Structure 1
Amino acid sequence: MGALSKFLLVTFELVNELYTAVGAGVLGMVVLVKHGLESHCAVKTLTVIGITTASLVYIMSESEQILPNKKRIVCITGCDSGLGFSLAQHAVDMGFTVFAGFLSLDSRGSKEIRKLYGNKIVQIHLDITNTSSVSAAVKTLEHFLSQNPGYSLYAIVNNAGVMVFGEFEWLTEKLIKQQLDVNLMGTFRFTNALCPLLREHKGRVITVTSHCSEATLPGLAVYGATKAALTAWSDGLRVEMRKYGVQVLTFIPGSFTLQSNIMGNQLQNVQDMHDSFTPEQHSFYSDYFKRYNIYLSYITPPPKPVKIEDHGMYTVFEKTLTDKYPRAVYKHENLRYKFYHTMFRISPVPLRDWLVVKFMQMPEYIPEDRGDPDEDFANMPTDDVDTDA
């Protein structure tokens, strides 16, 4: 009975001191540290201090929220399918006015959004690799703002992107340039054209990057390089634009392999790689090239654009739009991604590289692989390919 009473007394003291510490904040912790040192109760004091510190960090991380309304315009690029197609719908459902950029206003994604939302989502033709197209989109925004007093350009979401999956040596100059033009230069071009409006309306720039910006994966060396470059660019832009009241952040949405069309042209890309091989490359890669691309070919896109089903991703996206004082980086990841990408960061290079191979689970290169490359390639499945990273 005496032991139970002592346990209950210690529990009461811990709860009482924890209540005092959380309520009094930093001052309360200072008092507890002093008391702990004087009474030689170091373990109890450190426990209370640890819980209190965690509580204060949590409280401080809960930032003030901005309420969406239709007078705040969110402009999103790359809405023909996948992430852009999904974010445009979610943003308008939140209560924002959405300008959705489509590479083609006759695309399946454009038609589907018209069917679902009518004129609730403003559709604009937007090819971020084309200066004239970007200029026309900016003029459309400017005209809308001039005709609707009280509206503001609240945010742009740089989402448009291209991914070509293949080892670096296999990529043609055209395939490399395509990723650089869309992912990097296109994002620069579009954001640069909107800087005056962003300054005027004190908007925010949200750029979609990838886990590949933190750990570039084999088969995605160029794609990862473009996403890492966007992260570096955002870091510099954030400091430059802060003094003008413009907030800059990046958004890592996670993986949604079966719900996107970011690699919808992969089969044609594989054909281009194969056609550009030298005789030596045909001989060297042979069966490995075939097995590698057969593996990817079984990951197929949906028959029509679909809204991504991932509640966690949308929760994080909402914070990018509504946090009054946004963080530099917003990230959504499942447990597998969280485990592996944490290990990538903290592991020595040999272990890190081994983990990358385990994470990717791609077909293994076997030096003895040889065969007739043209015959092997001709026997590949003709399914469309789609994957994300």
Structure 2
Amino acid sequence: MTPAQNSAAVVTGAARGFGREIARRLVARGHRVLITDLDADAVTATAAELGVAAVPADARVPADHAKVAAAAAELGPVGVWVNNAGVLRAGRVWEQPEQDVTLQVEVNLLGVVHGSRAAVEAMREHGGHLLNIASMSSHGPVPGLAVYAATKAAVLSFTTSLQGELDLARLPIRAHALCPDAADTALVRDEQASPDSAMLFSQKALLTPTAVADAAVALLDGRRVVRSIPTYRAGAMRVAGALPRLGLPVLARLRAQGDRRRVGGS
């Protein structure tokens, strides 16, 4: 695979949060980084802060991913592609506006699919690493975030299936999925006022973006396909998903706990 100091790295949705911190670490590793975001002003400001290239882009649009891939190739052979762009809307699924449902599916799932296709095309000759940011909600039910959880479960399934396809095609690309628990980002804080966001606050403390970025970049050093942080929460979520009659009552208690923390501002 192409050495870091000679390769370009793409991070989508990188104007803030996980994406910005991941980009910061890729710069430190010697990559020539290109970041994208739908918010043109914010991504330009972040690019100036980090000393990287920026392209305003919409993760929902395949042509935008192609544009990003072409711009990254001008920096060097693409060796890393991180599909980080995502949105979250809390609420009971039957009460959510149609546009919120559609937005989550298009950004969180189709954005990853379109970005992965562009990444594979960019890296198929020389190899590289494709990292998709999934979620702890990939592993089981999350009442109050049903649509979001469904999209992230699909991202996890897509990534593992994609690695199988890459292996069968003998392409030198490693696909990875990172499944972090809720973190202290604008994505989460913007939904804190909604009671349906309670599950996001059910852990003792929100993860930090820096901790998630460290875990994300560490995946690029090996062949591990899936990593969840913290690990113990992933196990509990899988049990809840496999045995919903037992798991859902437990999640209801966790939701009540999370609601107290949500209101308390933790």
Same structural fold, with TM-score higher than 0.5 when normalized by the shorter chain = yes
- Cα gap change, 1:173/1:342 in structure 2, threshold over 3 Å: closer, same or farther? closer
Q: Name the amino acid aligned to 2:84.
A: N
Select the residue among 159, 163, 188 that pairs with 1:234. 159
Question: Following the alignment from structure 2 to structure 1, what is the Cα–Cα distance between the partners of residues 189 and 234?
Answer: 27
Q: Name the amino acid aligned to 1:170.
A: E
Question: Following the alignment from structure 1 to structure 2, what is the Cα–Cα distance between the partners of residues 102 and 73?
Answer: 17
Partner of 1:85: 20
Q: Does 1:111 align with 2:8?
A: no
Q: Does 1:135 align with 2:89?
A: no
Bigger proportion of residues as helix = 1
Select the residue among 161, 164, 177 that pairs with 2:89. 164
Q: Is the 8 A contact 1:158 1:207 kept in 2?
A: yes
Q: Is the 8 A contact 1:203 1:246 kept in 2?
A: yes
Q: Does 1:195 align with 2:120?
A: yes
Offset of residue 94 of structure 1: 2.8
Partner of 2:245: 350
Map 1:185-334; keep pairs closer than 5 Å: 185-242=110-167, 243-256=170-183, 258=184, 260-262=185-187, 266=191, 292=195, 308-310=209-211, 313-323=212-222, 326-333=223-230
SS at match of 2:41: coil
Offset of residue 174 of structure 1: 0.9
SS at match of 1:193: helix
- Cα gap change, 1:205/1:126 in structure 2, threshold over 3 Å: closer, same or farther? same
Residue-by-residue CA offset, 1:301-340 (whole Å, 9 max, x unaligned): xxxxxx8343xx34422321112xx1121222176x3574
Offset of residue 168 of structure 1: 0.8
Q: Is the 8 A contact 2:14 2:35 kept in 1?
A: yes
Question: Following the alignment from structure 1 to structure 2, what is the Cα–Cα distance between the partners of residues 338 and 228?
Answer: 12
Work out the number of aligned pairs and report it.
251
TM-score (ref. length: structure 1): 0.58
Question: Following the alignment from structure 2 to structure 1, what is the Cα–Cα distance between the partners of residues 190 and 20?
Answer: 18
Which has the higher Rg, Structure 1 or Structure 2? Answer: 1
Unmatched segments (≥5 aa) in structure 2: 202-207
Q: Is the 8 A contact 2:21 2:213 kept in 1?
A: no
SS at match of 1:86: helix
Question: Following the alignment from structure 2 to structure 1, what is the Cα–Cα distance between the partners of residues 209 and 220?
Answer: 18
Offset of residue 188 of structure 1: 1.2
Q: Is the 8 A contact 2:139 2:238 kept in 1?
A: no
Unmatched segments (≥5 aa) in structure 1: 1-65, 146-151, 271-290, 300-306, 365-385
TM-score (ref. length: structure 2): 0.82
Offset of residue 144 of structure 1: 3.1
- Cα gap change, 1:199/1:172 in structure 2, threshold over 3 Å: closer, same or farther? same
Offset of residue 265 of structure 1: 6.1
- Cα gap change, 1:357/1:154 in structure 2, threshold over 3 Å: closer, same or farther? same
SS at match of 2:144: coil
- Percent of counterpart pairs with the same letter? 20
What is the alpha-carbon root mean square deviation over aligned residues? 3.0
Q: Is the 8 A contact 1:254 1:334 kept in 2?
A: no
Q: Is the 8 A contact 1:79 1:110 kept in 2?
A: no
Partner of 2:108: 183
Partner of 1:75: 10
Select the residue among 254, 257, 260 that pairs with 1:359. 254
Offset of residue 199 of structure 1: 0.5
- Cα gap change, 1:181/1:349 in structure 2, threshold over 3 Å: closer, same or farther? closer
